[in-house]
Amino acid sequence: MIGKSLLHYRIVSKIGAGGQGTVYEAVNTTLGRTVVLKVLPPELTANEVNLERFEREARLASALDHPNICAIHDLALDGDVHFIIMQHVAGSNVRELVNGRPLALKSALSIAIQVCDALAAAHERGIIHRDIKANNVMVTKDGKVKILDFGLAKLLDQHPTNPSSDEAKHLTEIGTPYGTATYAAPEQAQGLPADARADVFSTGVLLYEMLVGRWPFDGKTAIDVRYAVLNQTPRRLAEARPNPVPPQLQEILDRAMAKAPDERYQKISEMRDELRKVLRQLEFEDDPAFEEEVLPSAPRHLARQGKLTRSIDSVAARTGVSRKALTFASLTLAALMIIPVLILVAARYKAIPGTATGEGVALRLHGSNTIGAKLAPALAEAFLRKEGATNVRTVNGANPDEATVSGLLPGNSAPTMIEISSHGSATAFVDLIGKAADVGLSSRKIEPLEIQKLATLGDMTSPSSEHILGLDGIAVIVNRANSIDALTREQVAKIFSGEVTEWNQVQGAPAPIKVYARDDKSGTFDSFKTLVLDKRSLISNAMRFEDSVALSDAVAGDPNGIGFIGLPYIRDAKAIAIAEGNAPPLLPNTLTVSTEDYILSRRLYLYTPAHSANVWLSKFLDFALSNAGQQIVGENGFVAQTVKSESTAVAANAPLEYKRLTDGAERVSLDFRFRRGGKDLDNKARLDLDRVVSFVADLKFSGQNILLFGFADDGLGNDLEISKERAQLVAEQFKRRGIEPAVVTGFGSLIPLASSSTEEGKEKNRRVELWLKK
């Protein structure tokens, strides 16, 4: 469509795409005005319901005349192409402004108040939005908010009993969840009727995201997110935001995001008025972060200098004292105030001898960037808070792959610090050998040569040295219109290395493939190289991205695009299933990654000396592997080792007996695996046994609910016997814990997950599945 025209609108560029249409920037060639066109996908115009909803969007939104609502100019038809002409808003949406970090307090409040103001005007006209989210809230350079896309709006006075309104009967069907899962109110998540109070909930989610830098409800799939919306309570602002906020804000958020609509603000204007009160209280407070955001082109010291200059001019005008004298006096006073502070800082750091060389550091976490970039600092902060520390913060070093987390423990005059260095998994073992690290962070299993070099620290593959922190999975994504639903790992490798350049080479439509990838600093890219590219190099003309959201949105908007991304960032793109060898293709989700069935899943490791004199080490490990630590693993986009069960489809080529036994049962979110080359359970399986026992006990189940199915890798000759033996080994461990499984059997090398031609593939296939018959 780029370069083409619809009527007298010439399309300049594509802005984005969603379930209700593709959005383009265009120029009105008659008036010379830049506008935005929203085009309904051609394949949906034949659907009367979708077409009516699309036309209704224009009618509803055009009736709203408010400075914080994007204006609708016209609804048009060119041939069989239906489109809306909308106001062009120059600026950034809230998702782009947040980008994983909290906004300044006053900025977040200002945006939220304007959103509330716009929604209040819409609600007074009987219109609700039902899809308030960060992508739908634009902020101009002068701080003006514009709400986009009333495409899911519904007239409040429409009722199924109204004979003049068929829209109420079929445009908004009971049981159909509208809105984006992360922001949707509980009633929307359940497909129930939603009124204006759903907008209140979504605005609360938006405000939380701006204050914290992340969503209050998160998950790997829409189902996970909806479960969180319905059942979980977001982390308190005092824990989730690095800088303090007025306590009234927590009360506002609690009320706005109440699960029951009756417990929320009944009018969005009530929420707006309370936010205005908080903002007024802050008007005379200094918020340097706000200065940086309002004046992004000016350094902070210039913003403060401007305040000082205006204050001096004001005093000079009122008192008659010369401006020069006042300036000298203010500088002298500032110097006198800062000297004691400098003395105090110097004394504090003198109390920690050798801080620069690490002598005052409690723990040193070195290695993988995948773990060290965000997850390790988040764990370190939470760990220090659990130990009672206050003023906990992360300070980045001069090198972007280094940081220090510090906090002040009760009774200490100097901060306790945790050093994080994330220069790659290989450095974990180098630094452990050189005694420069207490914990080695690794996104791969330790290699045989490294095991030998670290032998003086103990057996690094033993449970006392090898600890599984969590699991990671990479999704391969394409545009939703792409006909490709599955690829083999080899095909993916050939596409990203440039050996395959056309979609028809992998049974797709004839079109050139456009590759999108994260940049070299990304832990996701590091994972992708290990799991897919191996010794191949990424194609030189790949589009590289620092931001996961930007990459995902770019692929979603490119019919010929393909990229890879962490599970939380699939968004509007389509994840494709990945297969290897004779194994069926699998889609990435919480279950397939947590069971490690998905071929692009991997473990994240913590390696430590078998014996250490550092008292902080065991405390940190216990916390990282605890439920609290695993919650943080999940919050940072990885798959935590929490036990769940859910219904799942059985492979079509599975044995009839397997299908019979699993009929009506739920798959537990882990598989038991074995040490390389042996029949002993690996280190993860040992801990998983205790997790499963607690899970089963909490559900008040017994061994009669447990089914164990063993599997072996292909080509051993006695596959069936080995698979049964493995299932029996796990059953014995359950018996020692007071639980006797109802079914213990094996299926040999059937239902492989990967090719047994590689050692990694064999390890995937050597497993014992756990099912629950409820």
Catalytic residue numbers read 131
Could you count the other beta carbons within 10 Å of the beta carbon of residue 743?
17
Token reading at 532 = 């897919």
| Residue-wise DSSP of 196-217 | HHHHHHHHHHHHHHHHHSS-SS
Q: What are phi and psi of 433, to 5 degrees?
A: -60, -45
Token reading at 155 = 């007239």
CA angle (587, 599, 368) in 5-degree steps = 115
Helix, strand, coil percent content, the chain, rounded in steps of 5 = 40, 20, 40
Query: Is the CA virtual torsion 308, 310, 314, 316 positive or negative?
Result: positive
Helix ranges (H only) for 64-137 are 94-98, 105-124
Of 595, 586, 593, nearest to 709 (Cα)? Answer: 595
3-state SS of 449-512 is HHHHHCHHHCCCCCCCCEEEEEEEEEEEEECCCCCCCEEEHHHHHHHHHCCCCEHHHHCCCCCE
Quote the CA–CA distance of 324 and 309 in Å, as a whole number: 11
535: Cβ contacts below 8 Å, ≥ 6 apart: none
Could you count the other beta carbons within 10 Å of the beta carbon of residue 234?
20
For residues 107 and 115, the answer to whether their CB atoms sit within 8 Å is no
Quote the CA–CA distance of 762 and 583 in Å, as a whole number: 12
Token reading at 11 = 């399309």
Query: Is the CA virtual torsion 28, 31, 32, 36 positive or negative?
Result: negative
For residues 490 and 337, the answer to whether their CB atoms sit within 8 Å is no
Of 84, 87, 187, nearest to 128 (Cα)? Answer: 187
Helices 719-736 and 683-698 pack at an angle, to 10 degrees, of 60
Token reading at 131 = 């899809």
3-state SS of 350-378 is HCCCCHHHCCCEEEEEEECHHHHCCHHHH
Quote the CA–CA distance of 630 and 639 in Å, as a whole number: 9
Helix ranges (H only) for 283-374 are 288-294, 300-319, 323-350, 369-372
